[in-house]
Structures are given as C-alpha cells and as structure tokens.
Amino acid sequence: MLLKFTKMHGLGNDFVVVDAVSRKVFFNKQQIERLSDRNWGIGFDQLLVVEPPTQPDMDFRYRIYNSDGSEVEHCGNGARCFAKFVLDRELTNKRVINVETKRGVIQLRVLDDGLVTVDMGMPSFDPKELPFTAEPSDALYGITAGGDDFLMTPVSVGNPHAVIKVDQLTDNQVSTVGALIECHERFPRKVNVGFMQVINPDEINLRVYERGVGETQACGTGACAAVVAGIKQGWLSPKVTAHLRGGDLQIEWQGEGHPILMTGPAEKVFEGQIYL
C-alpha cells in the first residue's frame, strides 16, 4: 500500500501524521517500527493517526503510537500538530476542535498567532491511575534505581509520569536513571520520567525520558506533569514557562478541580509517500 503522510514537529518532538478519515489505514507493530527507523524508514518519535469520530458530538478520533509500535494514551505536542494538520488538510474549518483519544476527550484551540492551546484535562495524583505500586500520599515518594535513591511525584495527565526535581540536569540522569525508572517494577505499565530544574516559581528547565521512545526534544505531557507536580509540592506558581531542549511551552494549572492548559507551536516539515 502506498501511504501518504505529513512529517511534523512540536518543539523538535517529531511525528508522522496520517489521514485515516479520507482513506482507511491500518498499521501493525512491525510496520510502525520500520517507518520510525531514522535510517531505513521516515523517522519519528510517534505516529499520529487521524480517524473519524465514534461519538456524534466529536470532530475526530486521535490515535498515538510510539516508535516501538505501542499505542499510548496522550501526547501534548502531538495534539498541537494534530490540530494544525486537520486545518491545513481542510478536514475541518473549526478553530476549536473536540477530539476523542484513548484516555478520553480533549479540546484543541487554534489561536490567531498560530499557536495551539490544548485542554489536557485534570491531572490525577492517585497511584492507581498510573498505575504505581504505593499508597496514596501528599508527600514525595521514594524509589531506588541503579543503587541510588530518588524522590519523585507520580502523576497521570492521561499518561503516566514520574517527576524528579534536580539541582542540575545531566545526560546521565536522563539516559541511565530515566531508562531504569521507565521499566521499574513499581510501574507495571512503564512510565515517562521527567527531570525538572526549578529556576524560579514561573520557570523550569525540563528533560524527559519518554516511555517506549527514549529522550525527545520536547514532551508536552511531560511539561504538564512537571508543572502540576511542582505546583502540588509548592515550588511553582499557577502559570509556568517550561524550557525544553526543543523550545518553550506555557503551562497553566489553577489547582485541584481545574484542567491543565498547554500552549505552544506546531510545525509542518514536509509531505511524502512511502510503500508499507
């Protein structure tokens, strides 16, 4: 089958986006792994598939696959690229788009300056939501990885995250500690691991080891998780700029009972086609 695709990125977190509204498209794990290969395929962090909605009050259904072929619940950078894609392809003319995902409904708002605000829903600090093997607590949780002990805040923002506050960000933290915690036995479905450096109450530096992918240039859900974890722990204000390797995201959370709002860019790189 000849597959038409669009390559996009949100702050360097890169995606292949496929229109499965105009034409039925199905992928298996092996196909996704081959397409994601940066030498033998197209190369991407995640594959985004745009499908017709299954509910009458929704505009689209949105499916997300990691480069290892696993399907995941949510992707903030991908959601912004999704919004730009459906407008550019004239699949809709709406500027406020309601989308079904594996974790539930999200709302995308395309602003006049081209930035996209995503209503990411409400976070959960209940360990069962990730899941994470622990009793609920308002304090930091301890975890051991590679013989060292770390304090973290586990939080679900539609997908599972473990947020660790550090004084300095280092390559070893992300590549070694991130990989160990991602597969830790206390996270039976694995976890995304964020390393957050607090600059001041309104700014953080962040690097994320993504589940099933490794470190990416930017992780939208990771930025949301880090900010809400920092607000919960009393380190951050309700509006924060998250500095990621690929650029900045604006994250807002007014506290319990309120959704997380994430605002940032989405860019098209090129369009192409490839045989599956």
Reported as a single tens digit per residue, the pLDDT across 22-76 is 999 999 999 999 999 999 999 999 999 999 999 999 999 999 999 999 998 888 9
- pLDDT at site 239: 98
Looking at the chain, the whole-number percentage of residues with pLDDT higher than 90 is 91
The pair of three-digit structure tokens given for residue 35, joined into one six-digit string: 């397409």
Q: Is the pLDDT confidence value at 138 over 90?
A: no
Active site annotation includes 183: no
- pLDDT at site 74: 85
- What residues form the annotated binding site for substrate? 13, 46, 66, 76-77, 159, 192, 210-211, 220-221
Residue 24 neighbours by CB distance under 10 Å: 8
All structural domains of the chain, each given as residue ranges with its CATH number in brackets, are: 2-121+265-275 (3.10.310.10), 127-257 (3.10.310.10)
Reported as a single tens digit per residue, the pLDDT across 169-196 is 999 889 999 999 999 999 999 999 999 9
Reported as a single tens digit per residue, the pLDDT across 116-132 is 999 999 999 999 999 99
Q: Is the pLDDT confidence value at 234 over 90?
A: yes
Reported as a single tens digit per residue, the pLDDT across 69-113 is 999 888 899 999 999 999 999 999 999 999 999 878 999 999 999
- pLDDT at site 186: 96
Residue 276: pLDDT band (50, 70, 90) is: confident
Residue with token string 């599972």: 160
Residue 163: pLDDT band (50, 70, 90) is: very high
**SS3 breakdown of the chain: % helix, strand, coil, rounded to 5?**
20, 40, 40
- pLDDT at site 102: 86
Active site annotation includes 81: no
Q: Which of 81, 183, 219, 224 is catalytic?
A: 219
Element (H, E) at 246: none
- Write the CA distances from 10 to 76, 85, 98, 180, 255, integer angstroms: 9, 12, 20, 26, 26
pTM for this prediction:
0.92
DSSP H helix total and E strand total for the chain: 5, 18
My answer on whether omega of the bond before 131 falls inside 30° of 0, hence cis, is yes
- pLDDT at site 21: 96
- What residues form the annotated binding site? 13, 46, 66, 76-77, 159, 192, 210-211, 220-221
